[in-house]
Structure 1
Amino acid sequence: MKDRQALPALLQGRTVIVGLGLMGASLAKGIKDLSAAAFVAGLDRKEQPIFRGLEEKVLDQGAVLSTQEDSVRSLIQEATLIILSMYPDGILDFVSRYRETFSEGTVLMDICGLKGFFLEEAQRILPEGVEFVGTHPMAGKEKSGYEYGNGEIFLGANFVITPTLHNRRETLDQVRAMARELGFGRIREVEPREHDEVIAYTSHMPHALAAALVNSWLGTEDVISFAGGSFRDVTRVADINSALWAQLFCYNSQALSGELRRFSEILDELAQMVEQKDRPQIEAFLTQAAERKERWNREGDRYDDGSRTR
């Protein structure tokens, strides 16, 4: 457990987390795991996560958006770091609504799964001296809500920073140091639009395909009696926050629709091989996938030896 002054620079001041669902709660708990002396406040549309956070000493202060506006503005004005753990639809609205409340020197850091469509616009809205940094913690669970928050979900996970021309090198280095302290493994920087293109494949596609696989079954509802580990693994993320993921799919529609069409073409090719009982082609197809996956596993092992702790 660290003293407050031993924390990464970004966490030595007053941190305000907007949105106390799974990710926001996990960040709050992760920061408090580093140091009980760290100041963490929470803002949410609902009263319950604020109450629980205060009761569990995960939050030092909290306020309900819209109904406790004076307290909300006071916390925002005093914040040195504001973490936006919100649905994509809410980010620009929040930045616009509180534009005049942010203090000079404050850093706003979003953790949304998309970047290209709003990073520049958010920075344009903000007043001089307030910096907006895009990040994407590649961690989570299939469940949502404060009660599922856990700082340990970040241990060994990937963390992506999406800098723009408006970001200072010092700020980006501070974000990197904070992510490392929270237990993230591989931390990298990438251009926002490239982030969205790659994430369409590595994040949005798995969720879309898991949902499609579940929805494709037309037989008995007793399917789970025939399911093994592979079915559970592939369909795990189909237990999805549909409102959030519908927004992500639509905001990244160009990249995701392209990936889905490419996948559909590959499935058509595989279906043709199976119909024709073309065993050599099927074996070659499966071998190519196995070799590629093994190569990806080796790449991952270079960055994550499973020993990340706080």
Structure 2
Amino acid sequence: MKIGIIGLGIIGGGYAKALIKYGYEIYGIDKNTDTIEYALKENLITKGYTDGSDIISNLDVIFVCLYPKDTVDFIRKNQNRFKKNSVISDVSGIKRYISNSLIYEKEDYEIVLSHPIAGSELSGIKNSNEAIFHNSNFVICPHKYSTEENMKLIEILAYQIGFGNVSYISDLEHDKILGYTSHLTHAIAMALVNSDPQESKTEMFIGDSYKDLTRIANINEDLWIELFEKNKDNLIKHIDNFINELDMIKLSLRNKDSDTLKSIMNKSSNQRCDIDG
């Protein structure tokens, strides 16, 4: 099988490292010449291209590992080049935008909307590591032209990459849930770091709790502005809910209401335990 990976960054580079071990022919396409040279030197890809328009028509599966808008632009630009019956999959953290932009009618190729729920605050192929996928969650979002055969193919590849669980949900449900589990958490991390009064040397008093909560505040602003803005309705609702929860804590403190404060803490402890099973 010939697999193309468009964009050899954290996700694309990790995919390449994992999949080439299974004997697939991996064709990397990245506009950065240094990235291609590194991938070839480290034997992460079979061949590499900075353009790739000549190889696209020979690829059986293509993973488009780009920002959401760039993903849409790439697929639109190359839709007449894709091999007949090939499978094109994305990695975007928003799905309704992708489906609304690309899923109009049945094509000679099939788009399988997917999202690897894994990542890093680092960037670039040199920081890519397939270990970030191990036992992580992977989501596939069926649409009206999806086929069981091609969704199953992407599921198999996801497990080979190292993902521990593959789920199927609609694009609408995906964006609603990820607005909470991913987009809101990044907004909270940003707000926490930016709320530092800087009245003293904060770094001298930081423990694991602060580090854990703010790791993702070291953010790729270009990517996350896209994700926030293209999922703004869901994110705003989640931010409002979060503010309400903070207000309840603040009100409990202001009213010296230890019982309510204890109830809030017990609720969060129980719900966190449920997540771990």
TM bin, normalised by shorter chain, reads: over 0.9
- AA of the residue aligned to 1:30: A
Shift of 1:128: 2.7
How much does 1:229 deviate?
Answer: 0.6
CA distance in 2, matches of 1:102, 1:175: 17
Q: Tell me, which stretches of 5 or more residues in structure 1 are unaligned? A: 1-12, 66-71, 299-310
Q: 2:42 aligned with 1:56, yes or no?
A: yes
Q: Deviations over 1:171-229 (max 9, x none)?
A: 11111111122221121100111000000001111111001100011123620110111
2:125 corresponds in structure 1 to 146
Q: Is the 8 A contact 2:10 2:127 kept in 1?
A: yes
2:18–2:160 CA contact under 8 A, matched in 1: no
Structure 1 residue aligned with 2:254? 275
For residues 63-83 of structure 1, give each alpha carbon's deviation from its aligned partner in whole angstroms, at most 9, with x where no partner exists: 113xxxxxx111111111110
Corresponding residue for 1:114? 94
2:7 corresponds to: 19
Q: Counterpart amino acid of 1:141? A: S
Q: CA separation in 2, counterparts of 1:97 and 1:116? A: 20
Paired amino acid for 1:173: K
Aligned to 1:123: 103
> Which residue identity is paired with 2:204?
S
Alignment of 1:67-146 (within 5 A): 72-124=52-104, 128-146=107-125
Q: CA deviation at 1:98?
A: 1.2
Report the residue type matching 2:3 in the other structure. T
Distance between the aligned counterparts of 2:103 and 2:38, measured in 1?
33
Select the residue among 177, 185, 201 that pairs with 2:156: 177
* Matching residue of 2:26: 40
Cα deviation for residue 156 of structure 1 reads: 0.5
Q: Which amino acid aligns with 2:208?
A: G
| Offset, 1:16 | 0.7
Identity over aligned pairs, percent: 30
The CA RMSD over aligned residues, in Å, is 1.3
- Using the TM superposition, give the Cα deviation of residue 123 of structure 1 relative to its aligned residue in structure 2, in angstroms: 3.1
Instruction: Report if the CA contact (8 A) 2:63-2:91 is conserved.
Output: yes
Does 2:249 align with 1:261? no
Gaps of 5+ in 2: none
2:228 is aligned, of 243, 249, 253, to 249
Paired AA for residue 39 in structure 1: E
> Offset at 1:277?
2.1
Distance in 2 separating the partners of 1:278 and 1:141: 40
Task: Give the distance between the partners of 2:194 and 2:100, measured in 1 at CA.
Answer: 37
CA contact under 8 A between 1:119 and 1:132: conserved in structure 2? no
How big is the shift at 1:89? 1.4
Confirm or deny: 8 A CA contact 1:88 1:247 kept in the other structure: yes
Q: For 2:60 and 2:156, locate their aligned partners in 1 and report how far apart those are by CA, in whole Å.
A: 16
Contact 1:110 1:135 in 2 (8 A): yes
**Deviations 1:43-99 (Å, cap 9, x if unpaired)?**
11211111100111101111113xxxxxx1111111111101000111121112112
Q: Distance in 2 between matches of 1:201 and 1:229?
A: 23
Residues 161 and 189 in structure 1, CA contact (< 8 A), matched pair in contact too: yes
Query: Which of the residues 144, 164, 186 maps onto 1:165?
Result: 144
Aligned residue for 2:53, secondary structure, equals helix
- Distance between the aligned counterparts of 2:148 and 2:100, measured in 1? 17
CA distance, structure 2, for counterparts of residue 60 and residue 79 of structure 1? 13
C-alpha contact 1:85 1:111 (8 A) present in aligned 2? yes
In the alignment, is the contact (CA less than 8 A) between 2:19 and 2:160 conserved in 1?
no
Does the 8 Å CA contact 1:123/1:131 hold for their aligned counterparts?
Answer: no
- Which amino acid in the other structure matches residue 42 of structure 1? G
How far did residue 163 of structure 1 move?
Answer: 0.8
Amino acid aligned to 1:78: N
